[in-house]
Structure 1
Amino acid sequence: MSRARYLPGYLLYRVLSGIFGLLPEPIMRRTGEGLGWLLSFVAGERRQMSARHLRRVAGEGADVDRLARQAFASYGRYWAETFWVRPRRLAAMAEHISIEGDDIVRAHRDQGGLILALPHLGNWEAAGIEAINLGLDLVAAAESLPNPLISDWFIAQRAVFGIDVVLVKAGASTELLSRLQEGKSLALPSDRDLKGRGVAVTFFGEETTLPAGPFVLAKRTGSPVLPVATYFRRGRGHHFVVRPPLDGEASVGEMAQQLAGHFEDFIRAHPTQWHLLQPLWPSDREEPM
């Protein structure tokens, strides 16, 4: 099928990248947050889904509509940074990154590839900048988008962050295993089970599944699974948190539940930076919003 029909959407992304690329960092950041907040007023179903997730995090008494709009503002910042980043800006970005737990990465990096398991918090792709500084050769799994031109653009953008991308499709698990065996480290967004065939966990008090990939790869290679969170700072920059490895002697189910517990802690710390706008729990699909 001709790729020409995908061209309008792709060109829109390129135009946005060109516009945001011209902006100074503070204006880019605030513009992204403002546009994300405005989008929350028209993205009804996705805003309601975000509010539904945030109710589980913050409790029944929370003003989840307000929290969801803040989450959209944070998501707008994520997109603005994605459009804005250029190779010449990486050094300046690195100056505004702080990390908690870098000693954990250093303690394990010489033993082979690491598996970094992340939720969709802040700008998770910016972790590639710090990964390079910590001496990691990073490969990330990413969802394949309906528009192949935009998928190709995203792969190129993530390469700017120092991240090599493997799209989640047939054969991806084999490729990720091969990269891990080569000594490369994997960054795996792990709070959304795309295939619906993951490992059952209790997450914020309700049963769902997490993707099995991090735990299966760990069992096959002996690589440690490190829970990682990526946060926006209040102003410019990012803050990353790395936790000690999951118990590699535990079962896959036990490892998944350990990771779910870490993700709960990460998300509760900054719930409005959790950019998950799709159904996550089975009840999200079964009950009206």
Structure 2
Amino acid sequence: MSGKLIALAFRLLSLLSLRWAQNIGHFLGGLVWRLGGRSVETTRKNLLACYPNLTDAERELLGRQSLRETGATAMEIPLMWEWPVERCLGLIKEIEGEELLDSYKADGKGLLLLAPHLGNWELAGLFFASRYKMAALYSPPNRLEFETYIKNVRSRSGSELVATDRRGIIRLFSILREGGVVGILPDQTPRLEGGEFAPFYGIPTATMTLSSKLLHKTGAQPLITFAQRLPNGEGFKIVIKKADKGMTSKDMPESLAALNRSVEQCIEMAPEQYQWEYKRFRRTAPGETPVY
């Protein structure tokens, strides 16, 4: 499907209400779980690796819930990209940890926002971009016309999109040194040269070093955040938490372990809303048994 057709499909889907979009997403996610396939198997293996103490029945229930929530996330994206920013922000019914933003404004240092694949990360990005001059790291899609569409919809609130190349990384350092805000998805598997192994749910996991390097070289303040989906289409709660204090350590293994602990703590607030079908353990540390 061409980029223009995808954009048209998104515009049509954006005519749905939040509740209808989530209901359809829940249905589709449940259907995927029943049919099986790669996403289901990856989810099962991730949950077995991260929650070995749960019973098989408990992991199956969590897995099914996770696919349903992922379906909801997918159906919410056209709304987040096509609705006016004010309408999207109107879906936020509660903000937990808002007082942490006051200290950022007071000290004048940069703010590094870590937003894992939990809940609706598009809405979390809109929330912060509506308040601050913000830059977000992104990976350009293969189709040029679809990249233009993504850049247009994601930057409509004033957010600057920075590509994952050398020039883009330099730009992130510059923004943080100027006291600006940078958003990063911290739980993606990095390229070989951009990561080291650190424990995630007790498993040595390839973890990006970029977040730690940004903190070490700019003195920025790290916060971790996500938009938690409320039940019955009622909207979302923005959760803002301090990152584990070990993240600012100049010792890279300690900093990366703290980053992963920060992500784990958020996941435990809403484990069913995490993207468990992502192959987080695709690279195996020497001497370790592969998860997949």
TM-score if structure 1 supplies the norm length? 0.85
**Contact 2:47–2:276 under 8 Å retained in 1:** no
Q: Distance in 2 between matches of 1:56 and 1:162?
A: 40
Query: Which residue is equivalent to 1:154?
Result: 150
Query: Which residue is equivalent to 1:73?
Result: 68
1:28 lines up with 2:21 in the alignment:
yes
Indicate the SS of the match to 1:243. Answer: strand
TM-score if structure 2 supplies the norm length? 0.85
- With over 3 angstroms needed to count, the CA separation of the structure-2 counterparts of 1:89 and 1:62, relative to structure 1, is farther
Choose 195-204 or 65-74, whichever is displaced more. Answer: 65-74
- With over 3 angstroms needed to count, the CA separation of the structure-2 counterparts of 1:230 and 1:255, relative to structure 1, is farther
**Offset at residue 146 of structure 1 (A):** 2.7
For structure 1, list consecutive stretches of 5 or more residues without a partner in the other structure: 1-7
Query: Which residue is equivalent to 1:4?
Result: none
Query: Which residue is equivalent to 2:182?
Result: 186
Query: Which residue is equivalent to 2:237?
Result: 239
- With over 3 angstroms needed to count, the CA separation of the structure-2 counterparts of 1:158 and 1:212, relative to structure 1, is same
1:61 lines up with 2:59 in the alignment:
no
**Contact 2:49–2:291 under 8 Å retained in 1:** no
Deviations 1:243-264 (CA, angstroms, capped at 9, x unpaired): 2253434423222211211211
**Contact 1:119–1:189 under 8 Å retained in 2:** yes
1:9 lines up with 2:6 in the alignment:
no
- With over 3 angstroms needed to count, the CA separation of the structure-2 counterparts of 1:161 and 1:232, relative to structure 1, is farther
Structure 2 counterpart of 1:237, one-letter code: G
Q: Distance in 2 between matches of 1:9 and 1:39?
A: 24
What does 1:62-141 align with in structure 2 at a 5 Å threshold?
62-63=56-57, 64-85=59-80, 89-97=84-92, 98-110=94-106, 111-132=108-129, 135-141=131-137
Q: Distance in 1 between matches of 2:222 and 2:241?
A: 9
Indicate the SS of the match to 1:144. Answer: coil
Deviations 1:5-48 (CA, angstroms, capped at 9, x unpaired): xxx33234223212212222221221222223323445611221
Q: Distance in 1 between matches of 2:291 and 2:208?
A: 25
Alignment coverage as a number of residue pairs: 281
**Offset at residue 86 of structure 1 (A):** 5.6
**Offset at residue 80 of structure 1 (A):** 1.6
**Contact 1:203–1:261 under 8 Å retained in 2:** yes
Q: Distance in 2 between matches of 1:42 and 1:155?
A: 34
- With over 3 angstroms needed to count, the CA separation of the structure-2 counterparts of 1:145 and 1:92, relative to structure 1, is closer
Deviations 1:108-155 (CA, angstroms, capped at 9, x unpaired): 13413200112110111211332145x322211122323333333222
State the Cα RMSD in Å: 2.6
Query: Which residue is equivalent to 1:38?
Result: 31
Q: Distance in 1 between matches of 2:197 and 2:38?
A: 26
Indicate the SS of the match to 1:191. Answer: coil
Q: Distance in 2 between matches of 1:9 and 1:74?
A: 27
**Runs (4+) off by over 6 Å:** none
Structure 2 counterpart of 1:10, one-letter code: G
